Structure 1
Amino acid sequence: MAAPGSLSSVLDPANFPQVLKSADGRAHVELRYDVLDVNFASRFIRSPTAGANVLFLGSTRNNFDNRPVSHLAYQAYPKLALNTLLRIATEVRLKHNLERVIIVHRLGEVPIEEESIIVGISSGHRGEGWKGAEEMLERVKERAEIWKQEWFADEQNQSGQPAAIWKANKDTDQHGRSINDG
């Protein structure tokens, strides 16, 4: 067993989920190793003053850049990542006048068709909701201290296991070019 406070203790899946909430209870962020709870996220963002609820689920697909993907794996610096996620959630909630916001990110291995991230918001109207949810997701991908490893089924390392590459937490092709730039 790892000593309390050691790096292996901080990253031990048994010490998750880890959660932070805003002082007013309107923002919830979470890191976890197990399957993400979409129903919890949906219940959290509901508000009697909200006419719009936006829930985004980022799922592992079986291919990327014309290559077969076997799974993804995520690592994070939990304390720093949680603080960054809460800052993002709070800033976006205030900027877009959102009722409630939630960000839940999975760590460890994420198989094909399972979610690695949930971003949810509630707002008075859909326009601010769509904008807020999109901005929150993009900020998470740009700023959160979460790293993605993509495992490819068509390549093996020296020990015969599927090969993996570390990627920025944003969509890039095999040459590192952003695929979101057009």
Structure 2
Amino acid sequence: MSLSYYKQTVIRVQTDDFNLAAEYKKLRDNNPKDGAIVTFVGLVRDFNQSGEVSGLFLEHYPAMTEKSLAEIVDQARSRWSIGRVTVIHRVGQLNVSEQIVFVGVSSQHRQEAFHANEFIMDFLKTQAPFWKKENSKKGDTWVQAKVTDQYKAKNW
């Protein structure tokens, strides 16, 4: 199998939920070069900066969003020796406890997979063009990137 097969990148922005086990399997199957897979799944939580949250609505500009996500993955690839990368981000109306984002990274060694996964998430939260509106009993509120997220991304 070719090197490009092992270093594949999958980026999806979608309204449908994703299956964690199926995404892990895709990172693992026919991938004997890598000895580590690190995954992260983010969920919609019921509390944030504005208080109690009942849901979240996400918008994006498709061409810009996918390009931004690809650039973030490319930056991670330039820093660490990683194999397969999958980034899935959901858009549309999401309820509390629903999956919102998946980042999976394979590599020959665990430390590179951990670092690359965290890097991708930190930059996704601050650089990817998603617009988030929290739903609550008080009304809907557009959410900005948190200062702590911006600080983490800046420290890479």
TM-score, length basis structure 1: 0.73
Q: Which residue of 2 aligns with 1:82?
A: 66
Q: Which residue of 1 aligns with 2:13?
A: 31
Structure 1 or 2: more helix by fraction: 2
Matched position secondary structure for 1:50: coil
Identity over the aligned pairs, expressed in percent? 26
What RMSD over aligned residues (CA atoms) do the two structures have, in Å?
1.8
- Could you report, residue by residue, the CA deviation over 1:17-66 in whole angstroms, capped at 9, with x for unpaired residues? xxxxxxx3510100101112323321222221111111100100111247
- Could you report, residue by residue, the CA deviation over 1:73-120 in whole angstroms, capped at 9, with x for unpaired residues? 100000110111112113212421101101100000111111111011
Q: Which residue of 1 aligns with 2:98?
A: 114
Q: Does structure 1 residue 51 correspond to structure 2 residue 27? A: no
Alignment equivalent of 1:131, drawn from 101, 109, 115: 115
Q: State how many pairs are aligned.
A: 144
The ranges of structure 1 where at least 4 consecutive aligned residues each deviate by more than 6 angstroms after the TM superposition are none
Contact 1:93 1:100 in 2 (8 A): no
Whose relative contact order is higher, 1 or 2, with alpha carbons under 8 Å and at least 6 apart?
A: 2
Q: Does structure 1 residue 105 correspond to structure 2 residue 81? A: no
Q: What is the rounded CA distance, in whole Å, between the counterparts of 1:65 and 1:90 in structure 2?
A: 31
Contact 1:44 1:100 in 2 (8 A): no
Can you give the 5+ residue segments of structure 1 that lack an aligned partner in the other structure? 1-23, 156-162, 173-177
Matched position secondary structure for 2:136: strand
Matched position secondary structure for 2:18: coil
Can you give the 5+ residue segments of structure 2 that lack an aligned partner in the other structure? none
TM-score, length basis structure 2: 0.84
Please say which structure displays the higher CA radius of gyration.
1
Matched position secondary structure for 1:109: strand
